[in-house]
Each structure stands twice: as C-alpha cells, then as structure tokens.
C-alpha cells in the first residue's frame, strides 16, 4: 500500500477526508493554524497546508474507484489512468512537523537590521529598502526606503520579501 495525493473539492477537504476514512483507509490532512488579525476581534482558524489536497494510504487495485467516488473527492492525482504514489518519506516529513495540537507551524522569516527587502504589497509595493528594526508586535518592520533618502516607513511584515544576498 502506498500514499496517494487526493484532489478534493475546494473547502471540502475535511468532508472528503472523513468520507475516505469511512472506507477504513488511513488519511492525512495536514492543517495550519491561521490567525486572522485583520478581523476585529482577531480570530483563529485552520486551513489545509495544501488547499484542495490531502493524502490517503490505500491499494489502488482495490480502492481507487471507491476513493474517487467518496463525497468531496474530485480525483486521485494520476498520470493518465495510473495513480501516482507519494513516497513514504515525503508524507513522514510532513507528519513529523505536526505539533501536539494537531497543527503544522510554518517558520516565519526572521528579518535582521540591514537586511535588504522588497515590498510586495501595499502603497510602497515594488520599492526596495533596508530593515531598520522588527517591531515588538512581530507583525511590522521599520524600513528605510532606498528611493527616498532617510524615509522611514512601517510596513506589515507579511508585505515584505527578504532579498537574496
């Protein structure tokens, strides 16, 4: 038996995973904890690590048709008519990142003073600058813009991308 990637209907990954579990198969739906700080009050939710996809372990000779007919499933990922197995070490590596609460945490990039960044979103999108400091709230950074001499701006951290050295 191998792991296979399952393409589910968008926002129906949990339903599809539960449907396949009802077939007696092992399922792995990796999820991220998401803090939505843009909402008032801030809310915490979850989203699939791979939106629209999850993993199931089965013998395709026996379970391919039942899996593809399960509620919420679009198809097993295939090359032509043949399902493509996912190597065990790939799934194990993802499973090893699941923490005690059942969620995967993605490491946030650490920005250091002097790092050159590009601004990817917002009114300064497309500009470059150097990090002056990361603010205490861990969500914003102070940046000196290169195009404006001595201009210091505060930018949401999610809007900047660290430039390769």
The sign one gets for the Cα dihedral 137, 139, 141, 147 is: negative
pTM across the whole model: 0.65
Measured in degrees and rounded to the nearest 5, phi and psi for residue 17 equal: -60, -40
Cis peptide bond N-terminal to 56, omega within 30: no
Distance CA 1, CA 63 (A): 11
Per-residue tens of pLDDT for the chain, all 165 residues: 999 999 999 899 999 999 999 999 999 999 987 765 555 565 667 889 999 999 999 999 999 999 999 999 999 999 999 999 999 999 999 999 899 888 887 666 678 888 888 888 777 778 888 888 887 666 788 888 877 555 667 777 887 888 776
Helix or strand or coil: residue 6?
strand
**Which residue segments constitute the domains of the chain, with CATH numbers given?**
2-96 (3.30.70.940), 116-162 (2.30.30.30)
Tokens describing residue 152: 């210091």
> Cβ(29)–Cβ(54) under 8 Å?
yes
């Amino acid at each position: 038996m191998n792991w296979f990637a399952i393409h589910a209907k968008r926002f129906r990954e949990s339903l599809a995973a539960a449907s396949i579990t009802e077939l007696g198969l092992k399922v792995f739906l990796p999820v991220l904890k998401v803090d939505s700080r843009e909402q008032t009050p801030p809310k915490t939710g979850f989203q699939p690590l791979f939106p629209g996809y999850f993993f199931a372990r089965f013998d395709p000779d026996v379970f391919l048709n039942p899996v593809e007919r399960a509620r919420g499933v679009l198809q097993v990922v295939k090359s032509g008519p043949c399902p493509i197995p996912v190597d065990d070490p790939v799934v194990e590596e993802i499973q090893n990142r699941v923490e005690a609460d059942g969620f995967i945490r993605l490491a946030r990039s650490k920005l250091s003073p002097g790092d050159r960044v590009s601004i990817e979103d917002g009114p300064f999108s497309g500009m470059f600058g150097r990090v002056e400091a990361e603010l205490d709230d861990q969500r914003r950074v102070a940046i000196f813009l290169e195009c404006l001499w001595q201009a210091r701006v505060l930018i949401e951290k999610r809007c900047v991308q660290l430039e390769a050295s």
